[in-house]
Structure 1
């Protein structure tokens, strides 16, 4: 996997390229709510918070402060500029080195960020340090053996292969966390509403804010976008197809 320097490339387009509609955000928050304890308030961590697309929504939904932890200075700058919730803050840090006290959070979300973690066993231990007993981790990531099939991937050479190569199989991820004292609390999929029309999705894909695009060479990118543009031109106003995405929930005894 080619690492991505978000301070140098993507921070300016990430919020637009990865934006969620109100309906999509509502579906994800419903899935998170179903996986977390019913009591309120809950103190949260958004680990790998990026431009903060989930962080304020977590504070609103669960009634407690949320700390967004993000290593990229530029991504945090965008998040600060967009956040309007008084109980949200963003701090520099990583999953391996969280800038919070021990036993200080009721839950953590890692949304689309686990594949960026360099030292995963250390991150699993560090998350266990920061989260209280009985707390939960919402791990929204793909798995090489439980991989969603976004409709647009088929147009790129090595599309599914290149995307799946970014991720571990499910059993490896579970083993990493159980070795650090976690246990599996749930595993399922979430199907969010359509991201809009095919043409609208194409415009967001052109921003190349998905890690997948960094794994392809220039010829593969050119070929893929040409094929995708031809396919979209045949029905630009058709709704973008939906697909199911995995959500693994882990719990500290």
Structure 2
């Protein structure tokens, strides 16, 4: 478990922020599976600092509910990501503070691996979705882990990341147990803008990725030292841009 009320809550916005264009690319990907009518009601489950929530309101004309268990992250969202169509609520994935069949869509953006009881969370997602509603599970998957360039500096990071996530098949099976129907095919979205080696280093050294919460301390400092040396040698080199996988889950019925 990661304590987002502690250090991570203080660095998350700077270390994990997304450009407005990146948010728009994601909301456009969601729109392909949601009704054309407006408004469309959306739940941002594990909304964190609200990096997506206002963009969902802009795309789907609200109302949008951001449910987040961390007080610090939710307070940050209320201050820095306010929107007239957005309501931030204290709650968890296993106990969503919304009525049954109250939303058309649910976004779980890199939050699923933090849910203590993933099956119960998906059962709650099924409960709050209207019949025919769609949930979007944007996650890493243990059998589709990208070969991130910065793994070279932290020898344990690849295994740590893979250990945090389920495979695609495991995720699909949990969804079926919860009464949701998973699409057979993943949706792949490329939203990151190319970054220079220096910009990537400055962002990563904030340690806003949960990976660093699980790495051995004696690996972190030497890794960043080697990283910094390479940045000095070639600061303007562009780092790879990775496509991200998303699983689409539907509550049956209309």
CA RMSD in angstroms, aligned pairs only? 1.3
Runs of 5+ unmatched residues, structure 1: none
Runs of 5+ unmatched residues, structure 2: none
The aligned residue for residue 177 of structure 2 is 179
SS at 2:95 equivalent: coil
User: Matched residues in 2 for 1:127 and 1:98: separation?
Assistant: 8
* 8 Å Cα contact 1:195-1:201 kept in structure 2: no
The aligned residue for residue 249 of structure 1 is 248
* 8 Å Cα contact 2:24-2:55 kept in structure 1: no
User: Matched residues in 1 for 2:81 and 2:214: separation?
Assistant: 31
- What is the correspondence of 1:159-170 to structure 2 with a 5 Å cutoff? 159-170=157-168
User: Matched residues in 2 for 1:22 and 1:232: separation?
Assistant: 27
Instruction: Pick the aligned partner of 1:120 from 118, 121, 124.
Output: 118
Per-residue Cα deviation, 1:188-239 (whole angstroms, up to 9, x for no partner): 2212232532211211111111111111111111222122222222221223
* Misfit runs of 4+, over 4 Å: none
The aligned residue for residue 188 of structure 2 is 189
- Tell me the TM-score normalized by structure 2: 0.94
1:54: Cα distance to partner?
Answer: 0.1
* 8 Å Cα contact 2:189-2:245 kept in structure 1: yes
* 8 Å Cα contact 1:194-1:239 kept in structure 2: no
* 8 Å Cα contact 1:20-1:195 kept in structure 2: no
- Tell me the TM-score normalized by structure 1: 0.95
Instruction: Pick the aligned partner of 1:27 from 25, 28, 35.
Output: 25
SS at 1:143 equivalent: coil
Query: Which stretch has the larger CA shift, 225-234 or 42-51?
Result: 225-234
SS at 1:168 equivalent: coil
